[in-house]
Amino acid sequence: MEIQILENAAKILENSEEFGNLIPEVRSNIVMAKKGAKTVNDVAGIPGRITTVNNKPKVFSRPDFGASSHMARLVLNIMKYDPSKRSALNLIYNEELIEICSKLGLKVSYYDRGEEPEESRKKEGGTIPWGVKSAIDRIEDVPDLIYHTGDWGKEPSIVLIGKDAVDVAKMAVCIARLFSKRFNKLDGYKVLFAPSRGSYPSKKPDVSCLFCAIARNDPNVPSKVLYNDGENMVIMNIFPYNRGHLEVVPVEHVTDLTDLNPESLKRLFIMVNKTIDLVRAVMEPAGINVGINLGEAAGASVEHLHIHVLPRFEMESGFMETVSNTRVIEESIDETYSKYMKNIELLNK
């Protein structure tokens, strides 16, 4: 499984021309460990690392276990503090990259090789466990990014850390795009589009009630309906706050919870619980937001009762609005819809 995930991650990086700007002189490697990994042979990486050809990322070898030493040992040490964080990717050191990552809401920490105790310096491979512990102790948490500014004969470095190699690769690509915008001074970095963003609708349809139109299968209203039992339906939000964003909606046009009788209210929230199960099974999020906005002042954009079920991820590119007023959804709606439909029996149980 880790090999396939790494192959997908490598393709994501190769397909990003901007990522070539983040590859250091020592080259990049992306690694992912097995669950419960104990040795470097339990960690897969890219033999020969990720290099550049004409400044574009290039991977020449298929991922394999035991293909990395330095990055594998870093992940193994991270897993001692958080076993779920099994992937890492090293990048070129640049202060602007660190600033971008901080603004994205990533947990950033560092270690200073000048502070390394003599006993770890003398011990073969001793710097990594000391450096990881130092970075974790500094913020009292496991970071999403660790950097150091180098030492005599040692190149400074940035390492992205995450649970999954694909998520780490996607975050690296988003960071690379922001860095490229800033580096090239192309209109700052006010707008950032993920590759699939062009397939998203540009504006909401002109109908009196969006959800009523979806319930009656209006052909002029784009929708992704996962389930409809005649009383409640589960749909994908096609203007999502984050990937996998679902909504549970009464088929009848109601505007408030008080419009529903106790039995209807009970069945609505049973469907919310089932939808949460579906999101957890398919998206494997770090957390879930469940929310109801009643009235325009509370954030409701449609006057028809609906309940948001929103997966949240520790390394989600959805922090872009903090610096650019732009959401980045790195997976197409069709891809996510297909994943949900393969597990749709969870809504029928």
Does residue 306 carry a catalytic annotation?
yes
Give 52-64 pLDDT, tens digit per residue. Answer: 998 899 999 999 9
Q: Kindly indicate the confidence band of residue 152, based on its pLDDT and cuts at 50, 70 and 90.
A: low
The ranges of the chain annotated as CATH 3.30.428.10 are: 197-348
What CATH superfamily is the domain 197-348? HIT-like (3.30.428.10)
Catalytic pick among 148, 245, 304, 306: 306
pLDDT at 173 over 70: yes
Q: What contacts 32, CB < 8 A, 6 or more positions away?
A: 2, 5, 6, 9, 43, 44, 45, 75, 86, 87, 164, 165
The ranges of the chain annotated as CATH 3.40.225.10 are: 2-183
Q: Kindly indicate the confidence band of residue 245, based on its pLDDT and cuts at 50, 70 and 90.
A: very high
Q: Kindly indicate the confidence band of residue 296, based on its pLDDT and cuts at 50, 70 and 90.
A: confident
User: With contact defined as beta carbons under 8 Å apart, do 75 and 36 qualify?
Assistant: no
pLDDT at 335 over 90: no
Tokens of 248: 């549970």
Lowest mean pLDDT among 29-38, 42-51, 215-224, 247-256: 215-224
What CATH superfamily is the domain 2-183? Class II aldolase/adducin N-terminal domain (3.40.225.10)
Arithmetic mean of pLDDT over the chain: 86
| The predicted structure's pLDDT at residue 239 | 76
**Predicted TM-score (pTM) above 0.75:** no
Q: What contacts 208, CB < 8 A, 6 or more positions away?
A: none
Give 93-142 pLDDT, tens digit per residue. Answer: 999 999 888 888 899 999 998 888 888 777 777 789 999 999 999 999 99
